Amino acid sequence: MRGMGKIAAVVVTLAGLSLSSEGCRRQSDKLVIAVIPKSTGAEFWETVKEGAEEAAQALNVEMKWEGPLTETELAEQNKIIENMISLQVDGIALAPLNRAAQRRTVENAVKAGIPVVIFDSEIDGNAHVSFVATNNNQGGVLAARHMAELLGDKKGRVLVLRFVQGTGSTEARAAGFIAAAKEAGLEIADDPYPEDATVAGCKKTAANTLEQFVENNELKLDGIFACNDRSTLGMLAALEDLRKSGVKVETRFIGFDFTPRLVEALQNGAVHALVAQNPRKMGRLAVETLVAHLRGEKVEPLIDTGVVVVTREKLASDAEVRRLVGLKE
């Protein structure tokens, strides 16, 4: 019995220590937030991560960054969200892959007491605290207006290369572009979705689509608009292959987002304009907004991170634009 008494005393002591240490942990630990991108396999999201990390460090919070490899892995992203809920993080910043399909997942997080900030792409419902993003529809409108300027009185036929179906950001860009292009008198020749979310998948769809518009060894399209970095890179590669095969290509090409390869293509004339958002700013503001809410501050329900049409001329003359796309002075 004495032995049992000693064991009981030890158990009670350990339990007390455990409760005490748990209390200390809760008092001293930083806020823990999860930032969940659409993908970890693209340069755009790496830049978003840099902005998010800068904000997390400045605000003294712990940030967990985790996302699917590609933007077609909806089930994987949902699994990550559910895992963060089970870990009881203090808040989640999410770039949703599908605005309709993930409404319930976000609502589940909020029901568990975890506030959610949405960034980059919209989501249905109003469970989230704030939406931090580019005005994607306006980005598409700006691209269409610039296309109309490039084509002048010629007008003509324009191809739109979309991205993953159901993705709020790229769907809004395509919708904005198509509506404004039609208003300007342009004809939409086709608007396919790529085979998958990779550059290779975008290139394959672009190549197959472009073939339909080659007549007498000439590409009979007046303009092309691609909705994000991977679709722009894929279309760029497909156009380069056409030129190498001897096809005459005089098509005006506007892309969305920027990478070092796309900036180089803009400088050498292979791309005529890029619609640029600010991924670093988006990542920073998503974290800042979430942390402000967690600390009891009022936050805006909609935060626009800005969008601009970048041309070769702007790259040469505008220092702010050069910084935005990562060029040194």
**Residue 326's pLDDT is what?**
84
* Nearest residue to 91 (alpha-carbon basis) of 257, 246, 292: 292
Which tens digit of pLDDT belongs to each residue from 204-244?
Answer: 999 999 999 999 999 999 999 999 999 999 999 999 999 99
In the chain, the domains with their CATH numbers are 27-133+279-298 (3.40.50.2300), 136-277+311-324 (3.40.50.2300)
* 155, two tokens: 């007008």
Tokens 């041309």 identify what position? 311
Tell me the C-alpha distance between 88 and 158, whole Å: 48
**Residue 12's pLDDT is what?**
40
**Residue 155's pLDDT is what?**
80
**Residue 24's pLDDT is what?**
32
Backbone phi, psi, residue 306, to 5°:
95, 155
**Residue 329's pLDDT is what?**
62
What average pLDDT values come out for the chain (329 residues) when binned by 10 residues? 44 41 47 98 93 98 97 96 98 96 96 98 96 97 97 91 94 98 97 96 98 98 98 98 98 96 96 96 98 98 96 92 84
Q: Regarding beta strands 218-219 and 302-304, do their DSSP bridges make them parallel or antiparallel, or are they unpaired?
A: unpaired
DSSP secondary-structure letter at 193?
P
**Residue 163's pLDDT is what?**
97
Tokens 């568990």 identify what position? 112
**Residue 16's pLDDT is what?**
44
DSSP secondary-structure letter at 226?
E
Q: Regarding beta strands 252-256 and 273-277, do their DSSP bridges make them parallel or antiparallel, or are they unpaired?
A: parallel
In angstroms, the Cα distances linking 125 to 73, 131, 245 are 22, 12, 49
Residues 6 or more apart whose Cβ sits within 8 Å of residue 64: 32, 33, 34, 35, 84, 87, 89
Residues 6 or more apart whose Cβ sits within 8 Å of residue 74: 97, 98, 101, 102
Tell me the C-alpha distance between 189 and 94, whole Å: 35
Tell me the C-alpha distance between 309 and 275, whole Å: 4
**Residue 251's pLDDT is what?**
98
Tokens 């809410």 identify what position? 293
DSSP secondary-structure letter at 152?
G
End-to-end CA distance of the chain: 80
* Nearest residue to 142 (alpha-carbon basis) of 178, 108, 103, 177: 177
Q: Regarding beta strands 218-219 and 214-215, do their DSSP bridges make them parallel or antiparallel, or are they unpaired?
A: antiparallel
* Nearest residue to 223 (alpha-carbon basis) of 163, 257, 180, 280: 180
